[in-house]
Amino acid sequence: MAEREILALRQEMTIAREEFLRVLPAAVGQANLRIDGDQIRPLDGDRRWRIVLSALDDLRLGAIRLPRQRVEIFLPGDDADERRRFLARFELYFRRAGG
């Protein structure tokens, strides 16, 4: 982790990596991302966050298979309001069918 960076969110999501990456630019308020393996960062040097996206085994419900990802969001540790705003926007863009 970078200096003064905290793990602000860790969750499992039923979403394919490709779909996550398609929605992500809007969810973080910008379109320019640097993707380096499982690490995703903004290209804009003024923004300070990092997302780690890790593939998990598919969720199986009978014949249905759903892709899953573990999502970890690291944010600066010095501004709680900024963290809340970032996470609220992220959740809004990834919410489906009411939650």
Residue 98 has pLDDT above 50, yes or no: no
CA distance 94 to 64: 21
Global pTM reads: 0.88
> Which helix or strand (DSSP H or E) is residue 11 part of?
strand 5-13
Residue 54 has pLDDT above 50, yes or no: yes
Give the helix ranges, DSSP H, for the chain: 17-27, 80-94
CATH hierarchy code of domain 5-94: 3.30.1370.80
Residue 3 has pLDDT above 50, yes or no: yes
Domain boundaries, the chain: 5-94
